[in-house]
Structure 1
Amino acid sequence: MSSSTERTLRDVVYATRPGFRPLSLDLHRPEADGAPLIVFVHGGGWRVGSRRVMCPTFAPEHGFPRLVADGFAVASIDYRLSGEAVFPAPLDDVAAALAWLREHQGALAVDATRIVLWGESAGAHLAALAGLSDGAVRGVVDWYGPSDLVSFPAPAPSDEHPTREEALLGGAVADLPERARAASPARQVAPGAPPFHIAHGIDDTAVPAAQSEALHAALVAAGADATLQLVPGAGHLWQGLDDPDDVLSPALAFARRVTG
């Protein structure tokens, strides 16, 4: 790790899996010790992606530095991609990162009793599942994540196979119904779910906004604190969004509220 005066720690290994690459995280911290912690899970269709990037269409200053400037520490984590291992491996990795951060919060000078999970696209899917199963996170920020693989639009015959969803599951949804249900946040919601802030572009053609609507409906039905922000004119990865602050400010306000 870097010295105590360095506020960003990079390439910190949080888990080793036999037969796989070490799993690492980057920790971005504000000047004040003991900040609440955002655990960020990157997107990329479960196939690709990097913990270095918050949202591929945002300028750097609208990424992790914006969250740190708002008083949060941010741990951006690796997880095994679908070419390495199928579900539930990536979810297990998110759980391992949460456990490691809690165990080492003193040395890291962060407050891991106040964790918000935040993900985009495939990372939002994993963040939602982890938040629903962890039992101790303060909240989840879900940016345009798939929520129901069972009802996800079926691939066209001309689509690449395996699809992103098939690669995650290790086969077609129809052939793995129990695994598809277990990998669907909207079908895992139960009373006691943590607060959620969900945001989705109405013009998203990669992950339909109906996926976020289904998760929001399930959370509300279970009595959870859940908000849904549907953004006109925005596509996947917030393409077409005029001002990143339109989605950053509500998400950060939610994070401040649930960790306050």
Structure 2
Amino acid sequence: MTAGPILRGIEFAHPEGSAPLLLDLYLPAGASAGTTFPAVVHFHGGGWRTGERSSLGPTVDGFGLSPIEQLVDAGFVVASADYRLSGVATFPAQVLDAKAAVRWVRTHSADYGVDPDRIYAWGDSAGGHLAGLVGLTARVEHFGEPATDDGVAAVAAWYPPTDLVRMGAQARTDAVARADDPGSREALLLGAQPSEAPDKAAAASPVTYVHAGAPPFFLAHGTADRFVPAPQSATLAEALEGAGAAVELLLIEEADHMWSQPDGGTTAAEQATAATIDFFRRQASRNLPGTMP
């Protein structure tokens, strides 16, 4: 399978008081020829305050590995979507936007050869947090929004914040940023310091919504992450396993945020990318046996 066209800047939502939200749509070759493909909706990182669609952060982008394009080459449609940043709106605006992106892909599935039953979510860092929330709060009333068809069949998240209540306490001694720091990324997301607004912090935490019917999860984290502590992924994995949900946890030794390594190499990013694609391929085959391109 090879990559096909990239349709950039498609408007999928226009929240009141905000600029239109856009997504980039990556299509495998042959996506318009009647073949049905699984799809992944990707959400970028950047601490909910920066970042842009179709990026996996400056470090990963700089490696030149092109994980999104690799996923397309593996036979997936990929939609990489905007969401409102914390300077524009506080939580839950971000997850509402992420859900809107999933709904758009499902609504337009026939237009782009997408199998509506094989739509998945993937995100890195803050985007992994949103992917997790999308997967755990689908098709039920949450965040003041009625139940909609925003479900995904599986979730992959790279170094995601998952428990904003405990995130500050889990920080490494050499942490570059801590959730409980004044004006932290998490505080800007919530509009309050997590320690001073535990109810808000819990409401914005994927771990709060874990349930037995959760879709399969793949979590990848570097053990030396100085921005999002590795126990954040371990906490969610433990909760999912305890609930009887399927979860895979990949911990990469000595890898920092965005898969930075002491030697400057790309081994961690390559391992995470390969494992993520393998996870989605297995999910796509399991969801609809015999039809994976």
For Structure 1 versus Structure 2, the TM-score category normalised by the shorter chain is over 0.9
Unaligned runs of 5+ in 2: 140-150, 172-176, 286-293
1:108: how far off?
Answer: 2.3
Task: Please give the alpha-carbon distance, in whole angstroms, between the structure 2 residues aligned to 1:39 and 1:108.
Answer: 14
1:208: which partner in 2? 229
Q: Deviations over 1:92-127 (max 9, x none)?
A: 001111111111111122223211100000000010
Task: Please give the alpha-carbon distance, in whole angstroms, between the structure 1 residues aligned to 2:230 and 2:7.
Answer: 35
Task: Please give the alpha-carbon distance, in whole angstroms, between the structure 2 residues aligned to 1:26 and 1:144.
Answer: 23
Partner amino acid for 1:80?
R
Q: Deviations over 1:202-248 (max 9, x none)?
A: 01011110111000000000001101000012100111153232111
Aligned to 2:240, what secondary structure does the other structure show? helix
1:32: how far off?
Answer: 2.8
1:3: which partner in 2? none
Does the alignment pair 1:251 with 2:253?
no
- Residues 55 and 63 in structure 1, CA contact (< 8 A), matched pair in contact too: no
Does the alignment pair 1:11 with 2:41?
no
1:155-166 pair list within 5 angstroms: 161-166=182-187
Does the alignment pair 1:97 with 2:101?
yes
Q: TM-score w.r.t. structure 1 length?
A: 0.92
Task: Please give the alpha-carbon distance, in whole angstroms, between the structure 1 residues aligned to 2:192 and 2:108.
Answer: 37
Aligned equivalent of 1:169, options 184, 190, 208 = 190
1:24: which partner in 2? 22
Aligned to 1:190, what secondary structure does the other structure show? coil
Partner amino acid for 1:150?
V
1:56: how far off?
Answer: 2.6
Aligned equivalent of 2:167, options 149, 152, 169 = 152
Instruction: Give the total of aligned pairs.
Output: 254
State, as a whole percentage, how many aligned pairs show the same letter: 44
- Residues 201 and 231 in structure 1, CA contact (< 8 A), matched pair in contact too: yes
- Residues 79 and 93 in structure 1, CA contact (< 8 A), matched pair in contact too: yes
1:5-84 pair list within 5 angstroms: 7-33=5-31, 34-58=36-60, 59-84=63-88
Partner amino acid for 1:205?
R
Q: Which moved more, 1:121-130 or 1:184-193?
A: 184-193
Aligned to 1:29, what secondary structure does the other structure show? strand
Task: Please give the alpha-carbon distance, in whole angstroms, between the structure 2 residues aligned to 1:200 and 1:174.
Answer: 24
Q: Deviations over 1:169-214 (max 9, x none)?
A: 0111233222211111112101101100000000101111011100
Task: Please give the alpha-carbon distance, in whole angstroms, between the structure 2 residues aligned to 1:217 and 1:100.
Answer: 32
Does the alignment pair 1:239 with 2:254?
no
Q: TM-score w.r.t. structure 2 length?
A: 0.82
- Residues 147 and 211 in structure 1, CA contact (< 8 A), matched pair in contact too: yes
Aligned equivalent of 1:219, options 240, 252, 256 = 240
Does the alignment pair 1:194 with 2:196?
no
